[in-house]
Every structure is written in structure tokens, then in C-alpha cells.
Structure 1
Amino acid sequence: MTEIFDRYLSYLKETDASTHTVSGYRKDLRAFSEWYRDTYGEEPEPEKMTSIDLREYQSWMRNVKGLKPNTVNRRMKAVKSWLSWCVDRGLAPRLPDFPRGVPEAKGAPEALDRVEVNRLLREVEKEGNARDAALVRLMLSCGLRVSEAVTLQVEDVDVGERHGVIVVRNGKGGKYREAPVPPAARKAIREWLAVREKKHPGSPWLFPGACPEKHLTACAAWRVVKKYAWKARIPDLHPHTLRHTCATNMLRAGANLVEVASVLGHARLDTTAVYTKPSMAELARAAERGEV
């Protein structure tokens, strides 16, 4: 990738963008850079970029590569963010017109069903690792993002026999929120706190990393989730699926959108409303019931 891309990615890091965000933008901009070189035989320079180039890139992704709409839109968003940064710094005279985004057929986010949840928790319990149990429960029962779970400090956790609150001081977009902790999660966290005090005295983090001064990384937490998913025979499980499962279970149990949005830290109710959409499995069952 060219120096101008590297400068933009450095800017993202300086704005406290998450490691996941920076990594995603790097991959998407690299894909654009490779397409541009293969198509025009030169490096993508921001001052030369035209609306025609952008339409061609979108068309190539859709019709030649056959990428899904959300992938096409995500990559175009990365290019637009980069070019906007270039314009702000005088590296390009103007922002070219971007083509309309590709319509997406959005369904409900993928969530685990009850049988899968039980298989996953069974494997966690069999392993007997108090840290892993607390980590999985924070995502599955409290709806925390993996990045939010690993950056919790001990002082952010207040759990007892009959009460429990988690303070997320720096959620997505820097938002602060407090999330309730239900009974099973409270038990898992209390058990981990008892073990943690002996293993990592003096560390401020709820989940210390290899170096007690630093917290467990998101990648390490992801590996924890993937390990139990593999044992539970749940392929391609992503840690975010646990957050989706938490939201779906709350709605199915009778919680309203405002309550679920507050737990998850959503600023807009339409973000939470996606969990009310039927899954493909539910649609398939409905179609079977209606088949003549």
C-alpha cells in the first residue's frame, strides 16, 4: 500500500479507533489499491480519483467478484472515509461523487438457539476455568462486546448475591453505560474474582493479560470463545454472536426495545429493532406450516 494509505491508518489509530476497525480499513483499502493497480497500471493517487473509478470498482465487486452487498458497501465506505480525509488535508481537490450503496436484504443478526447455548455453556463448565466462564457470561448474559469485556477494571464490577451492575466506561463511540448482571453471570464473576485475587494481585484489570499491567487482548478473548465453540460443535461462532444471542433472548423473554437498547448501549432504537426480525430458520418453519 502507498504512503498515503499508511498515513490515513496512522490517523485512525490516533483517533482511538479500535484495533479491529483499523485492521478492517487496512484490508478494505488494500483490496481497493490492488484493484486500482490491476485496472489502471498505477498507484491510486487521491487527486486523480473520479466518480467513474468508484462506479467501476463497485461494479467490479458486484458483477465480477460476486461479493455480498454488505461487503461491497463496507469497502466503499472505507474508500470514502480515506478520500474525505485526503480532501480535509488538501491532498485531493474534492470528494468525487460516490455511487449509491447496494441494497442489502437484512435479516436478524445470527444468534445461538437454546440447544447451542446449552452445549456451549456445558463445555465451559466442564473445563472448569473460572476466567473463561466469567468472560463468556459477560458477553452472553450481559451483552458486552468483546472489546468492552476485556477492558473492564475490577472497580467497574459490583456483584453480590442479589445485585449486579457492570460499568462500561468506553463503549462503542466512547459511550458510557451501566449494564445489569443476571444471577448466573453474577455467580461466574464472583467465582473468577476469588481466583483472580490470588493469581493477579494488584492488577486493576478484571481480565489481566500475560503482563498484569495490561488487560487480556480482544484476540485472546476471541480464541477463548472459539475454543469452546469448537468443543460444542458450533462452527464459525464469533464472539459478537454471543451479544446477538443476549439481545434475542431478552426480546423473546418479553423485554421491550427500550430496555434491550439500554442494556446493549444502542443510541437508536432502529439498531435494536433488527433483533425483532425473524431468522431464516423461523421463516423456513413458517413456510413449511403454510405449504399445501
Structure 2
Amino acid sequence: MIHVNGGRGESSYASNSLLPRKVISMTWPIAKEAITNFLCGSATNFPTTLSIADMGCSSGPNSLFFVSNLIQQVEHLRKEFHKPPLEYQVLLNDLHGNDFNAIFTSLPSLLESLNAQVGGCLGPCFFSGVPGSFYGRLFPAKSLHFVYSSYSLHWLSQVPKGIESNKGNTFIGSSTPKSVLEAYYTQFHKDFSMFLKCRAEEGLVEAEKVDAFNIPNYMPSPSELKAHILNEGSFSIHCVEVSRINWNFYATEFQSSSTTTSTSDSAYLIAKNIRSVAEPLLIHHFGEAIMEELFCRYTKLVDDHMLNHKIEFVNLTASLTKMN
């Protein structure tokens, strides 16, 4: 079962989620435009209740960061249209092992801060945790106004079948056979199509262990993403945008890694970030005993690579509208 490291320790996702937070901020204009277009189109029939779902919410500060921004934008538009306060239903989804308690603990301070930021007139907000896979139905039909997902849809529902020939790799690598690449693509196609179908209905280190371990993860290209959305047929595409962020995500501009903070510092922070996400999956397969040594070696590999290469995380952001 895939989930991030819970709690607030050094290896927790809550303490190592700056990269996703930066990407959420970078891509916020797309979400802002989407909710603005939706509410402006409903100006004469402005909703009295807004139902928002975050698919793959994880735990930690990012879980409520996007929702907070979205509610503030809705409140701004509500006042512009001279509408009374809304009721908000916020549905936070992730797999059963997610640390939902960490999210709920932070709700009182979030609501207090939100109410102050919107001038003390925030309507009732109802938050619910919804454990389960988003590759299936989670909500009643036609119950959602706005669905958001960040750093989640590249995770597949399972490791693809028929990839035993991917020896020496835990994922897609330079030596991965074409048949394995096609197996990952096929699994992504199946999962993503199911995700769109369900949201449309709801919306508005042993060698042997390494060879047996594969990460259920696939990053589609922009053209693949567009093709799947169009072929599935439930949504029209408003935009698909590519954003890039340096592996040294503390840098303010993309530049050679060697000219920013030391690569050793950056490699350590990157390894902590990856560990906060991947460790539960690794422990399930390899056991806990090797984790410190594994990530010590991984930090060294990242450091060596960053000395001579500029490395970026590439992110796809899509804004979709359900078709009538």
C-alpha cells in the first residue's frame, strides 16, 4: 500500500514537502482561472454549497495549502458578485495508510486563519477524510464541483504485469526493454481512464529482491495525457502546461547547480524529500534495516550527479471541464 511517511519527524513527508508546495504555487494560476471561470459562469445561479475534493491529499502542510488558496479565491468572487457566504464541503482523499490525523489536528488553526484572511465572514466549512483508491468511485453521483490532484496521478494502481525482464531496475531505466515500457504505458492508460470515468460520474537489497521490486509509477508526456483525455471523452481540455523546477528547489532561479547552494546540501535535502514519499513502499519490500544505508548511498549518488548535470523535475498541469 503506497502512502507517504506520516507524523512530523525528520523523514516525514510533512517535514520534506517543500518541492510539491513550490509546484502547487507555480501552477496555482491554472487552478485559479478554472474556479473563476466556473463561478463566473454560475454568477446568476451562484452555488450555496461548494464541494471540493483533493485526490491524493497526503499529510502535512500541503494537504490544506491548496484548499486554503481555493477558498480565499471563492470568497473574493463571492463578495464581487454580492453573494451571501457559502458552505464548503472539503473532501480529502488518500489511501487508507495516510496520516489523516495529522491533517485534522491542523484544522482549527487553518479555519481561524482563513476566517481572518477573508474578513471574518467565512461560511461553515465541513472537512471529511475519504480513505480509498481514486481509481474507483469514492463519492455519490454528481456531488462534486471542483476536483484537484497534485503529485498523485503518476502513481499507478499496481505494478504492471509482465515486467519480469526488467532486471536490475526498479523502474523504467535506460536498459528497460520495450515490452516493459509498453506494460507501464498500458497500466497508466487503464488507470487514468478509470480515474477520468469515475470523476466524470461524481462531478459535476539482494539482487533477487531488487529484480522483484518495481515502482508503480508512470510519467506521461503532454501528448499522451491529451490523447487519453480526448479518447476517454468525459472532459474537454482547457489547458495542459509543463512546468520545470530545479532539483535544487531552494534556488530562486534555474541555473547550474554548482553555482547555487552546495550540491551536498541539495543532495541531502532531495534524498530526504524522496525518502518521505518512497520509504513506506521500500520498507514493505526490503524491510526497515537497510533504510539508513540505502538513503546514505542515494544521497551520494544524487550529489555526484548534480556536480555535472542540471536536473529538473518536470510537472504536467491539466485543467479540465466535464462535458455535458
Question: Normalization by structure 2: what TM-score?
Answer: 0.22
**Bigger Rg, structure 1 or 2:** 1
Q: Which has the higher helix share?
A: 1
Question: Normalization by structure 1: what TM-score?
Answer: 0.24
Q: Which has the higher strand share?
A: 2
